[in-house]
Every structure is written in C-alpha cells, then in structure tokens.
Structure 1
C-alpha cells in the first residue's frame, strides 16, 4: 500500500474498535463553537455512575477496588467508555484494546472473590501508556506509518504483538489494567503531537491550542478524565509540557529511577541524554502512588540501568518536618524569572507571581535564580539530538515514504553529517562541565537562603507560553534559526538530569492577561514568542510551573509540589 492508504487503514481499524453505543451521535462542533470539551461537555455522554468513577483520582479508585467496594470490571468499563469519547473529540489514542482490558478486569474480580484480597497494590486501576511502550496483543507504531504491522519497522522478529516493555509487565503484576496506548508525534521529538496516522491531537480545554508533546496523547486523555493516571517519557520536556498544557500534575524522574527496559525509541543507543519514564495524573497523590508501587517491585532486578533506590519516606518526611516546625521552619525556593532569551507570555508571568506570593505567604524564602547561561547547555542538548545526523529518523520515514510534519521537518528534514567519536566525547565532557558548574551555583545559594541550606527547589516556567499554537508558523521573523517550539526552561532539566514536577496554577484570562503593548523583543526568538500571544485564543488555557529538584529527589519534589498545590487551592485552576 502507499503510505496514505496504510495510514488510513490503521486509523480506521483503531476507530472501529469503539463500540457503536459509545460513538458520538454527531461530530464535535468546531473549536470556535465548542472550545472546551472537558467537564460538562463530555459528561453529557456518560452516566452518573461513570462520572463518579472517572472523576475519582487514582488514589481514591484503589481505595475502592482493593477492598472490593468497586469491581475492577465497572471501573475499567467506565474508563474505556470515557477514553473512547476522548479519542473522538481530540484524536488522542493510537491503540485500543478494550476487550482485553475487560477480560483482565473480570479475572481480577474472580481472583478477589475467590481469595478475598486484591491481586496487587494497583488492583483494578486502569493505566494508560504512551505509544512507546510495547504491550502484548497490540502493536507499537510510535506514530510511524512504516512501523504498522511490524516490530519497530522490522518483520519476522517473532516479537510482533507478543513482546512487552518491562514497566507494562510490572504494572500488570501490581494489578493495573492496561487498555489504551496514546498518541505521540512521529519521532517523539516535538512539543506538539501530530503524525500521519491520527493527524493532530488537540488540547481538550482549548481546542485552538496544542496538547503538547511528545506524551501529548497522555496529557489530552487524562485531561478528559479518560484515564486516572498514565506513563509518558521525557527527553526534552515530553512529560512536563503536556502535563502543563493540560492542567495536570506530572514528574520527570532522574534517569535510572523508573524502568525503561524494552521501550521503543528514536535514536536508540544515544546515551549522552537519556529519555526517562514518568507518570502524569490529576493529583500529586496519584503520582506518588504509582511510583511507590513500581519501586516496590524492585525494578533494578529487571532493568540494568535502574538504580537500587526504593521509595524513601524519610526524604519526603524531611520536607514536611521543616514546614511543621513553624516559626524557624523555612523552605527556600529559587525563582527563575528569565532564561535570558525570551519574555514570558502574560498568563505565565501571572502564574509565576501567584506561586511566588503563595511561597511568601507561607513564610518561606525566595531567592532570585541566576544560574549559568542556559544557552550554553542547550547548545549541548541540540548537538546530542543530532549525533547520527538524523539517520535513524530518516530510515523510519523511508520505510513508507511518508512526509515529516511541522517541527519535525524543520529539525530533521535534511540529513546531516554524523558526529565522530571524538566529537561525541567532547560534548560529553562539555555536559559534565556544565553539570558541575550548575551544581556549584546551586551550592552557592546557601549564602542567600537564611536556612543554612542551598535552595530546596527551583520554581520556573515550563515554557514561555501556556501552550503551543498549532497554527503559528514556527518562523515569524527574518532569522531562520528562531524557534517557537523549543522552550529552554524544560529542556535544560534533561541535560542536568534533575527530578522535576509540574504544578498546575491557574488559567489564562483575556480580561487580565492583556498583550504587552509597545514591547520590543530582545531577539528573533523572543519576537516569535511575543507575536504568538493572542488573549482571545489563549483564554481559558491552563498555566503551570515546574518544581525543579536535584538528581534523585523525586520524593522531595513531590512533597514540595503537594505543599504548594494545597496552598493554591483557593485559586481558579
């Protein structure tokens, strides 16, 4: 088949797996008529019982399923229904395996009746997975037309539809129900989610905007409550960007904390800057739940790259102990006001102000964060992503002859010369030197905090905008190197390998977040970002910040996120 026919056949086969009774009676109105399809819009197609189940977070669901109050079957069926609706609204699924999930749920219920106990800590909890995870019974395309009906583009391996990634198997052992795999941009190397199979995945809260990427389908699905918790990956912001754009919590763990064994990937074997697995969810509690459960399975015995670090309650408790001490108990936060390259959009500046005022109201310390030049670090990142000159990506597209889309074509459209071993070694040396420089700067803040410690975490934007605009030309200035879609705020974290979470803060408001009239951009990239802001288009969009900790501080970062999230409850999210 030509690539168009192959893509359409795959797309139609996935859509055909939605039961007729779950299909929308009519097409979703255009964004101009129905911007937001979350909340009451999607609820109209669900029963009160389905709404009750799907609008309970993962922690609440497990509390019900592990004691037999809710059956795994009714929970799974409710989320399958809502996921089916979500896909019809925003194109967020690559693979649907509802029947297999319902069969697994029935077995869970039978086990519970027979044994009087749950299968595992996540008994009956539906968990969605980015289409990078291999799951038995379905294929992995990762958005490539050429990967359809293959195992990562190759046939005859014996792994097609039978191989499973380690984390997927771990979740099954814990009693979780796997039921869908979510959309990604082909290559995974984009902050928007688009490919030639499912086309474009939209932001459910504001369908003028992108859901983010590369774990964009996860962000969109969980935003629509079609999943209580899911796993994505992050090599440049791919967990944090969709979490932020969709008003969710998420965490990018340090490399080696969560198993990556058996995953599909682009540029596999590039080890200078490793992609990591992490969860997205509607609550901090859900993130903690799934991370603690995964680590309880000792993944370091199944993935050679996982460090033997069980969940550490003491790191989490240390944060709460400081806060409970009152009086002299203070935390200290670095505040990143700029990356030196671009100005934040008005809603992002307001979100940062809200968080700063919240920190100050709680009595904690604020330190201006003025780290080593981010551009120096980003130059290392972008070189790392081109070690093979684009050979792996071009080979994947050559399988079908399909075209590259949007920002992928901008970055990888031309095959480039591969880096030599000596050049790669030099970049690795530069990376280590930059990490050392950043570490020393962080250490130096102990002289500024008044706590006797360096800052506990850094609060920063994830991007200079609330969400990317799919209709924006990536180049709006005379400088062809100006990038609209490459936020340094998220990508620098990957170079440093810091544990980083997402904290939803507020929503864009056209009556408050007006255009910066008379603003003169600092450079061509700043001009692109500045011109992208339109209060009418962005109205209602989610705005978030990230909480950046040091390496392997996942427990501490989530504790800090919980403290600030609780304090923000009075703000409109």
Structure 2
C-alpha cells in the first residue's frame, strides 16, 4: 500500500534524525519552547566540551587562519561543528540533510594532504559550509522541502541524477577547501517568510523558540545563530536571506543577480527571470562574508555559470572613503504600510546616532513608490498562476505552506490563469521603466547632499517587526523592492528586543489597517530577547561597497 504524504514526510524526518550519532543525542524529554525559550549561548554550551566551544564560536576568518596554518586540523573543526549542528537540529528543526560522515571523511583527506606537505587546499581549507536545501551535493538528496521530491531528482524518478549532481557554488566552495556538511530547512515553494514544511516541521528561532526564524532561508538562519555552522548559503527572491539574517542576529548579503553562481541549484519557478532569485552567504561576522565573497570570485564563476558577470573582487574601487572623509546615507524608516515596531524603531535610531556621531551626512530617502516595486515583485512571483507549485505539491498531494496558496487564487476563489507572453513582456517593460525612474532619483540626490555626490547607501529596517508567530506572515514591504531593483543589500545585527524598553505606545496612531492589526498583535513579553537587524542597501553590483560600509557601521556599533 502506498504511503500517504504525511507518512512519507515523517519517514524522511526520522531518517534524518537517525543520522545523528547516539552520543550527540540530547537527553529526553527535550524542553518545550515555553520551558526553554532561548537555546543559544550557555544553554547549548552545556552539551559541548571547552574545545568544541572554542572552535564553534570562532568565525570563518579565525577558523581559516587556524586551519590554513595547521594550528587546527580540518577534522577537529568539522567534527565540532557537526556536533553543534546536531544539537541545533534537535532544538530547532533546522536541518534537511545530514551527511556528517561524508564531511568528516573529506576533512581527513584534507588533513592528510596538508600533513604530506601540500599545504592548505585553498583559502577556505577545512571550513565547514552549510547550504540551504536548494543546492545539490553529490551523495546527498535534495528535496527543497517537497515530500514529492523524496527519492527523486527534483521530483522526477529514474533520471540517474539522484544524489549525483553538484551545484556550481558547492563545487567552487569545495575547490577552495570548504567542507559541506549539512543542508538546511526551508518552506517548500521557497515563497514563505515562515520556514516549515511537511518533512521537517516548523523551524524555530534559537533565541526565541516561540517565534519564527524567518524565511525562506530560515534553516540557515537558525543553524548559524546556534553556531552550528560558521557560514552558509541561502537564496533571496524577496528577502529570504535578509529576513532570517535580521531575525537571528546574523550578517547576510543579497548580491545583485549575476555576481555569484546559481547554476545547478534547484528552485521554484526556475524560468522566472523578470525578478530572479540570487544566492548569498550568511555568517556570524561581516569579515566572514568578505572572505567568502572574495574566495568564490577567485574561482572565476563567470567561466562556469553563463549568468555570472565577469567581475572580480574590486575592493580598491570601493573601500576608499571620499577625500573629505564624509559619506551620505539615505534614511528610509517606514514602508508606508506598517511602521516599525518599538524594538525595530530603537535599532534604526541607534544606527542613525552612530552614523551621525561619525560625522557622516543623513538625508531622508523619498524615492519612487516602493509599493509599486513590491507590486512588480508579486506580479513576477505569480506569473505562472501557480503551475509550478501546484505541480510539485501535487506529486505527493501535500498542501502548500500556509498563506502561499492564497497568492495563486483570484478573488473568485479559483486558481489564477498564467500570464500570457504579451502580459509578461508588458510587465518587463514597465519594470525597466520603474528601475530607470529609481536610478534617476538616486542620481538626483547629488543635489541634496552637502558633498554634491549621490547617496552612498540607504539605511532601512529588514522588517517592521522583530518577531512573529508561526500562524502569521511577516510584513513584506521592506525587502522585495530591493529585488525589483536588483540592488545589493547587507544585513547586520543591532540589538535585541527588551520588554522593559520596547513597551507599547498607547498613543500610537496606525497608518493603515494592516499596521493597526500588527500593532494590536505586538507583545514585548513574547518577543523579548529576539535579535533585531538593519539593512544597508547599495546600487547594483556594489557588494564590495556594502561590505565595507557594514564593517564601518558595525565597528562603530560595537563601541557603543
């Protein structure tokens, strides 16, 4: 008798848990989220040795400084992170695929080569790297959260590609000495801000397991926040790197399309290129993002992925500050639909104060409507009328994630018809017109600044809220506009929700019905301890500039 989709999902989930060694299993019963809200820091450290804590709480830069010089072996580093990743999964449901044995064997081979006098394999020698379960790793399954993809290659049986394909980004990371060791959870369809699916269940925020870790790269956010990985790769079509980075206290970068290789990775709506998905790293430090970006670009990915632009790392071009030492930042506090809630407002103001204290200039950002930009994004996301997600959920009969199916229904409750070719072309024409209008606005800011130069970057929240429960979707107006414009955006941590500081303003006047609804839901007691991040947005292909500016601001924040 054929298994139901529920049974197939459960079987896959149990097989993943079974790959965790007995000695790394947590004692039963594992505390509930109510009993143990925060499982980061001291809580998870109790299950680790002092040496494992030292290794796993080092960032990618420190790790590679030690592994490339032989001070630490790749084997001890990878084993320590495998242990901590196993703990993270048991506490947050953040992993889809566990291949610790394969990773440790890989590490031993690197150590043998190093001991034989061959030196480090590359700048990432011995560095554990996690990947969102859109990326294929040889010897490992990819389900992308779909029950119907289990024991197939992207939902198709008998291709010979099952567990036999490697995404270009994975290949390059390995060529640089990096060691893939696990793949992380995501919502099937990758179109949700809540990470959960019918295989792994809901992925929890490690700092506050009562709320979501964000999505769609939420497994990466939870794992790295738990220090179960020093660095990993997510994808972003509407905020899917930035939202989990912000909600989990991490650094993350959404590069422009064509900067990093995406070829060979699975995706929803893979032919949708009006507003394409991009991949980018998430990590515990900005230096780690710099290391990974530089390293991947040293592999000349433009020779392996036809969509990648021939653009080596250009730090010399962007690291320099103007002759007068002054930069200009545009300030975008609200999306005009849902205003930032207290902790987000406080984080924004804190960054503004830091920028001001450094003597840089600030101007209000008043661009062409971001509501238009978000509307363009959703026009593109739903252009096929849901054919892709209905096909892949239909392979098993499972439902789509909550809220996602609603995107593809019309007001009459029926499935939307796919857009015709001429309708898509019309969208693309209007999209380019909007992008040009926005570019012209940015150029005109030179007339508003004291320096006479256009704004260097835009400071804006990642989200209006610092936390949201699993039955809610995150207000989406703060991130898809960046995808519509294909701008570079870097996220950095600022603070955490404090129930004694971030109290409800009883005199607040909502600016919309959605704002009113969100304000009524605000619960500082529930959200207490949840990280809050900000994003810094630059123009297209300005990854170097944004990393440099995030380093500048984060360094100043650390002294406050």
Are residues 1:343 and 2:332 paired?
Answer: no
Paired residue for 1:559?
548
Structure 1 gaps of 5+ residues are 473-483
Residue 254 of structure 1: aligned partner: 256
- Measured in 2, the distance between the counterparts of 1:276 and 1:226 equals 24
After superposition, what is the alpha-carbon deviation per residue over 1:125-157, rounded to whole angstroms, capped at 9, x for unaligned? 000000000110111100000000000000111
User: TM-score scaled by structure 2?
Assistant: 0.97
Q: Name the TM-score, length of structure 1 as normaliser.
A: 0.95
Task: Please say which of residues 334-343 and 193-202 is displaced more in the overlay.
Answer: 334-343
The offset of 1:340, in angstroms, is 1.6
Q: Deviations over 1:373-411 (max 9, x none)?
A: 111111111111111100010000110011223222332
- Which residue in 2 is equivalent to 1:390? 386
Moved more, 387-396 or 107-116: 107-116
Distance 1:28 1:543 in 2: 27
Cα offset for 1:121? 1.3
Deviation, 1:227, is: 0.2
Residues 114-513 of structure 1: pairs in structure 2 closer than 5 A? 114-319=116-321, 322=322, 328-412=324-408, 415-472=415-472, 484-513=473-502
Cα distance between partner residues in 1 of 2:467 and 2:440:
33
Alignment partner of 1:530 is 2:519: yes
Q: Where does residue 35 of structure 1 map in the other structure?
A: 37
> How far apart are the structure 1 equivalents of 2:408 and 2:102?
37
Work out whether residues 134 and 264 of structure 1, in 8 Å CA contact, stay in contact via their aligned partners in 2.
yes
SS at match of 2:235: strand
The equivalent residue for 2:62 is 60
- Secondary structure of 1:380's counterpart equals helix
CA distance in 1, matches of 2:183, 2:469: 24
Aligned 8 A contact 2:465 2:475 in 1 = no
Check conservation: 1:394, 1:415, Cα contact below 8 A: no
Query: For the residues of structure 2 that align with 1:377 and 1:492, how far apart are their CA atoms?
Result: 5
Q: Which runs of 5+ in 2 are unaligned?
A: none
Contact 2:465-2:474 at 8 Å conserved across structures: no
Residue 480 of structure 1 corresponds to: none
Query: Offset at 1:531?
Result: 2.1
User: Aligned residue for 1:478?
Assistant: none
Q: Does the 8 Å CA contact 2:127/2:179 hold for their aligned counterparts?
A: yes
Contact 2:38–2:208 (CA<8 Å) still a contact in 1?
yes
State how far apart, in whole Å, the 1-side matches of 2:11 and 2:31 are: 25
Matched residue SS, 1:219: helix
Indicate the SS of the match to 1:494: helix
When the two structures are aligned, how many residues end up with a matched partner?
Answer: 554
In structure 2, the partner of 1:10 is 12
Deviation at 1:449, TM superposition (A): 1.6
Quote how far apart the aligned CAs of 1:471 are: 3.8
Q: CA separation in 1, counterparts of 2:469 and 2:11?
A: 29
* Aligned partners of 2:460 and 2:535 also within 8 Å: yes
| TM-fit CA distance, 1:116 | 4.0
User: In structure 1, how many angstroms separate the alpha carbons of the residues matched to 2:350 and 2:83?
Assistant: 37
Moved more, 398-407 or 2-11: 398-407
How far apart are the structure 1 equivalents of 2:523 and 2:8?
38
Question: 2:189·2:400 contact (CA, 8 Å) conserved in 1?
Answer: no
